[in-house]
Amino acid sequence: MELRQLEYFVTVADEAGFTRAATKLHVAQPGISAQVKQLERELGQPLFDRSGRTVRLTEAGRAVLPYARAALDAVAGARLAAAELTGLVRGHVAIGTVTSLGSDMNVPGLLAGFHRAHPGVEITLSEDTSDHLLAGLLDGRFDLAFAGLAGDPPDGVGIQVLVDDALVAAVAPADPLAARASVPLAALADRPLITLPRGTGLRAAVDAGCAAAGFRPRIGFEAGNPEVLASLAAEGLGVALLPATMAAAYPGLSAVSLTRPRLRSRLVLAWRRTPPGPAARAFLSHAREFLAR
């Protein structure tokens, strides 16, 4: 039994077909078929039912699959451990980010710098809402994530705060609120609010604040990009709840401080507290140094 046979077997199972497996592995299909058949002969059982248009695992195939995966994972772990000892980091890092991540974070520069330092590490980047990103850290879909956070992080997640900003009510200059320096949050109970969608850290802060103030927010507009929120408010379509620095920088908006309660929203770099492997540890170290500049 060879590791190559196990890799081919697992890939065929994952792709539900020899042709797709061959494409993924960049190997000729006859070669994969021959190696899987050899594995079946060694085990004395067919691993796939080939009678349909797509191949399916047999009972024996389903029984063998977790052991094949474990064997491949063990080999990959041994290689990573050896590489770490020699200072040569390899592997894969999955990074998640909120859509509204500011350009001042310079994520392209962060990724490029890490790639130059560790060319053997594959990096993937995916966008999602903050709640999905934090859940993805815990279930292993992500190694690190840039996420919005309204309260404390989930158990098992470490964070570095990158931005901690007060939320303000941003309105057009002609809005009656524009003449005020501050307003209690309850003063917005009957106003159409413009905010990020559910699942984002900013929206969680808004919902929690409104609940504490004793009302349910009347959401007029939702958008995933804070600049869209600002532009809607500048047109007089409602009250945008935005970080103070963004509201102050956007032309045509007046920013009004919120009180009772005061709201804050944080952007954090988050990671699993359990050791995620040498590649992820190397990226975390690089990211924390890069973002502290």
Question: What's the confidence (pLDDT) of residue 52?
Answer: 79
What domains can you pick out in the chain, each with its CATH number?
A: 3-85 (1.10.10.10), 91-161+267-291 (3.40.190.10), 163-266 (3.40.190.290)
Return contacts of 200-203, CB within 8 angstroms, 24+ apart: 200/98, 200/100, 200/129, 200/130, 200/131, 200/148, 200/224, 201/98, 201/130, 201/147, 201/148, 201/149, 201/150, 201/265, 201/266, 201/267, 202/148, 202/150, 202/167, 202/226, 202/241, 202/243, 202/265
| pLDDT in the model for residue 97 | 94
The list of the chain residues with pLDDT below 70 reads: 79-90, 102-103, 275-276, 293
pLDDT for 88? 46
Q: Is the pTM of this model over 0.95?
A: no
pLDDT in tens, 215-252: 999 999 999 888 999 999 999 999 999 999 999 989 88
Nearest Cα to Cα of residue 284 among 145, 81, 148: 145
- DSSP element (H, E) containing 170: strand 157-171
What is the pairing mode between strands 144-149 and 91-97? parallel
Buried-exposed string 111-120: b where 16+ CB fall within 10 A, e elsewhere: beebeeebee
